[in-house]
Amino acid sequence: MTGWIKSPADIYAQSFATIRAEAALGRVPADLTDLAIRVVHACGMTDIVAHLAWSEGGGQAGRAALVAGKPILVDAEMVAHGIIRRNLPAANSVICTLGEVSAVEARDAATTRSALAVDKWLPHLDGAVVAIGNAPTAVFRLLELVAAGAPRPALVLGFAVGFVGAVESKDALIASGLPHVALTGRRGGSAMAAAAVNALARGLE
């Protein structure tokens, strides 16, 4: 097993160079270029850039929220554990409320744990950065709450994944008027959502 590259700096540099060479980054605005690169890096797929959607100024809004010390609300522990804490500009809180909701509570409320956990974001939602990397039902519930008058987050990173509701939830997010960056289609995941946060926090460093 000789010849494998062991230098973390070299690995990052070669990775980002490959992504810049292969990914169609020309369509991505300046405030989201690093985000697009980091999301591609997290999943190994350069073609996803063509499927990213965003609202104008989304990257700047997310960055400003982090600098202002706003919390990061995530739908899954995997997202929380993908965020590089030391890179956050204001030692921002990373809040995952999923563990506060039991399966029995969700059953009694006739919804998913992920959706019910979003209700517990309410005290933290105003101006926050939301990163959803798993559950379409978390996206749907967030949109319901905001439509009903809940505080608006500064940015919603929509990377819900899968075969039931992922496409529709992200399309609904894009149509909602909320500031967003989203990957349309079935693809998504915790690693992409965390990578998006990491890019807003510190670019490619």
The distance of closest approach from Cβ of residue 200 to its own copies in the complex, given in angstroms and rounded to an integer, is 18
Phi and psi, residue 129, nearest 5°: -100, 120
| Cβ atoms of residues 152 and 23 within 8 Å | no
Q: Is 51 a catalytic residue?
A: no
Partnered with residue 95 across adjacent β-strands are 73
Read off the DSSP letter of residue 167.
H
Phi and psi, residue 94, nearest 5°: -115, 115
The distance of closest approach from Cβ of residue 56 to its own copies in the complex, given in angstroms and rounded to an integer, is 24
Question: Does position 191 bind its own copies by CB under 8 A?
Answer: yes
Question: Does position 185 bind its own copies by CB under 8 A?
Answer: yes
Question: Does position 81 bind its own copies by CB under 8 A?
Answer: yes
Quickly tell me which residue has 């894009």 as its tokens.
174
Q: 10 Å Cβ neighbour count for 4?
A: 6
Q: Which of 67, 87, 120, 144 binds its own copies (CB under 8 A)?
A: 144
Q: Which residues contribute to the site for its own copies (CB under 8 A)?
A: 1, 4-8, 10-11, 14-15, 18-19, 41-45, 76-78, 80-82, 106, 110-113, 115, 136-137, 140, 143-144, 147, 161-166, 168-169, 172, 185-191, 194
